[in-house]
Amino acid sequence: MGNGVREGPVEFPKDVEPVTAAHLPAEDNQEKKKVLNSLMSGALAGAVAKTAVAPLDRTKIMFQVSSKRFSAKEAYRLIYRTYLNEGFWSLWRGNSATMVRVVPYAAIQFCAHEEYKQLLGSYYGFQGKALTPFPRFIAGSLAGTTAAMVTYPLDMVRARMAVTPKEMYSSIVHVFIRISREEGLKTLYRGFTPTILGVIPYAGLSFFTYETLKKVHADHSGKAQPSPPERLLFGACAGLIGQSASYPLDVVRRRMQTAGVLGHTYSSILLTMRDIVREEGLVRGLYKGLSMNWVKGPIAVGISFTTFDLTQILLRKLQHGGGEER
């Protein structure tokens, strides 16, 4: 009718490609695969590393929560007496609780680290490139904090099982039940604050050191990826630096976690530190067992980082028929 508008077919510019929904599910699936790969690789890394050093870990905890003076000779005697009195497998007592905690902890930590690296890379404009030092440290700290917050009660249970005879707690579930009934649910988070304060430098420095050594290696060797022995060495250095920086808070955490079964009362971080220093001295108290950690820690962290990287590479090759390594 006479409205002055010409009717006819509507034409779209030929150089504009219609947006289809087909690309979005593909990207979503790719992201889901990446997250799943990180979770699986992290879980395996944590399980392998912790099982390898479980006897040393249990021995370290037993010294941390007692007033006995630590030495390599005394550590050996404790391991040997435990073996004679309780049997070979008693050296892994508490390892089932460790696995219940470590598998989700490591899975969350490694997966969160990959996601935080991506987020910080986008924020600072480093997409596809290695992060600079400060964001690299922040990504590691955030990953460790995230994992610790989610899995902390399991760490409490593991510490209790490590320092008590098997007659006291028959299973992981039994620990939860007894603590809830006799000490209250809030006990499951006793020592949480020193844990988080310790995780920030530990995870931050560990991931920072490992990622930095890989980058320096790539820059100087011209190789995109280090070999497995080199990964183990880089991980060992990362563990040595990270655990040395956060060790006093680890001692405080163990004391607060096990106070209910060892007859002590520790109400705060500062008071716990004060009591330890007054009774045992600064170095002998707050750094008790550190020399064992210098053996155990680098081995565990080296195995953990190496297992994670190699599992990631293997999963990607299986999925893509031999894609590029990271």
pTM, full prediction: 0.73
Domain architecture of the chain: domains with CATH: 93-189 (no CATH), 190-310 (1.50.40.10)
Per-residue pLDDT tens over the stretch 39-66: 999 999 999 998 888 888 778 777 777 7
pLDDT of residue 25: 62
In the predicted structure, residue 317 carries a pLDDT above the cut 90: no
Tokens at residue 3, please? 């409205």
**Maximum distance among all Cα pairs of the chain, rounded to whole angstroms:** 105
pLDDT of residue 114: 92
Mean pLDDT over 264-273 rounds to 78
Work out the percent of the chain whose per-residue pLDDT is above 90.
30
Burial label, 147 (beta-carbon count in 10 A; 0-12, 13-18, 19+): buried
Mean pLDDT over 247-255 rounds to 86
pLDDT confidence bin for 109, thresholds 50/70/90 = very high
pLDDT of residue 26: 64
In the predicted structure, residue 19 carries a pLDDT above the cut 70: no
In the predicted structure, residue 326 carries a pLDDT above the cut 60: no
CB 292 within 8 A of CB 56: yes
